[in-house]
Structure 1
């Protein structure tokens, strides 16, 4: 599998990446065996880029990913994690942010320079690693001033010191990432759900801006949280129930894909991967079978005529 360098950094990612939200028990609990199997399947498919975050399962994703990679040569893979949420002791009960985990910890927003350093140190402990290759500002939607004024300079310094290899921002919108691309010296944008078959809102401005500034894009959320993950519409669109107009559009897309002998999730992956700004497409999985299927879809060519026919 080919690798691409992120922006002007030395960090390289494979064209297909492993997204760690699923093994953090996103929506539903995943066994230790299945979580390990998903990572092992990604490795067997040639994936050498793995993404995670403290937010995913209140640290569960980082712990599981680190354990699964512990016996692999550290020089052979790249890991990204995120900053912006500090994990502190929680009040118990269950997590209320979409992950099926006990609320042993709680998330606290923190985009200060000290918060960035603490978050990285905590992630290193959970991952069981001595370095993190790529660090992303995670969802600073309501924290622009602190993120650009404190967190970004801290990451810039850590990159200059060689502590991290590449820096960037990861969000579910395109407007604020465009500001980061225009006003800072980041290497990468992780764009979740805004360049997909259903939502192409990042295409007119953000993606051309990234190309002109030499900033790489990692396409995440290419299934829009599930609706495009199967040949019939999945249950969720952007982490909420699927609206009927979206469902009808997906049904039509699936019909067109079948006419070209292409599956809907295959088209969803290929659509994002074909843009010249996109360095890697990150897909999640909660089992070995799920990831092996996605890797097979990624590796299977899609006829160019499909793109002309899809709405």
Structure 2
């Protein structure tokens, strides 16, 4: 199943108050900025802000015809009432903890999760459902969650199914052992990290599996022209060594008349196995900027050669065609 994801999708974790709270108006403006720039694929999950991202995304898309966009959400975490709220969620999202997450990869859990997501989104269908972060429950996800999604696909409830994770091993296992349509690789093929290059991407190419390359800013560190210590790497505090690497890359980008975010977006799309880059945005300005960079001219070819020559990038990583 091939869906019209386009070159760039909007990752919607920020709509769930990832790292910092935004209001409903800013969430809507972020989606609208991406839409105006040509983005038509939107990825969310119950995990993002304890359902807040799904509610905000659904509200923002309500003015658009359902056949004009593609939405994915995820299963694996059910949201249930929290019997002992402390007042604030403790998993990166600035939201009240009136709900809590419960891992559930059972068939019933998959169906319930999807039904709950549809209610929050206010939609009668989503196009793609991904098994979310199954690395700690890989056997159960393969044995129960995947067959449940396979049945939903066979029954026409969803158009495509897949798996999303930061764990290359579990993504490779699903790609090898199941009939999924889509792999969402989160932060595993970026300027800073390319472990997906070795086995996962070649396997997906051979098997005809669509690859969505998400978290291409590695949680924030590559999202600004000049990296600094308050930016996150893989959703944690940035280690000094990684911050130094990103800063060195930024300096090379500047010498070649481009920026680190531009290089990050174009590199993330440069492997022929990758269908779509999925990038989050902290507000409408960043959503517009990301689209302008992704759809705009690529950095010069000399940039990639310089990064490789300075030991900042793997020499075997495919690089995009450079600007003339």
State the partner residue of 2:121.
127
Are 1:307 and 2:304 matched, yes or no? yes
Q: Give the SS at the match of 1:143.
A: helix
- The reply to whether residue 240 of structure 1 matches residue 232 of structure 2 is no
> C-alpha displacement at 1:123, in angstroms?
0.3
Deviation at 1:11, TM superposition (A): 2.2
After the TM superposition, which residues 194-233 of structure 1 pair with which residues of structure 2 at under 5 Å, given as runs? 194-233=188-227
The answer to whether structure 1 residue 258 and structure 2 residue 250 are counterparts is: no
Structure 1 position 45 matched with structure 2 position 37: yes
Question: How many Å apart are 1:286 and its aligned residue?
Answer: 3.0
Q: 1:10 Cα shift? A: 4.1
**Structure 1 residues without counterparts, runs of 5 or longer:** 1-8
DSSP-derived class of the 1:261 partner: coil
Q: Is 1:286 aligned to residue 282 of structure 2?
A: yes
CA distance in 2, matches of 1:110, 1:248: 39
Q: Please list every run of at least 4 consecutive aligned residues from structure 1 whose deviation after the TM superposition is greater than 2 angstroms.
A: none
TM-superposed deviation, 1:231: 1.4
Q: Does the 8 A contact of 1:12 with 1:78 survive in 2?
A: yes
Gaps of 5+ in 2: 313-324
Alignment of 1:1-311 (within 5 A): 9-90=1-82, 91-92=84-85, 93-234=87-228, 235-301=231-297, 302-310=299-307, 311=312
TM-score (norm 1): 0.96
Q: TM-score, normalised by structure 2?
A: 0.92
**Separation in structure 2 between the aligned mates of residue 41 and residue 229 of structure 1, nearest angstrom:** 17
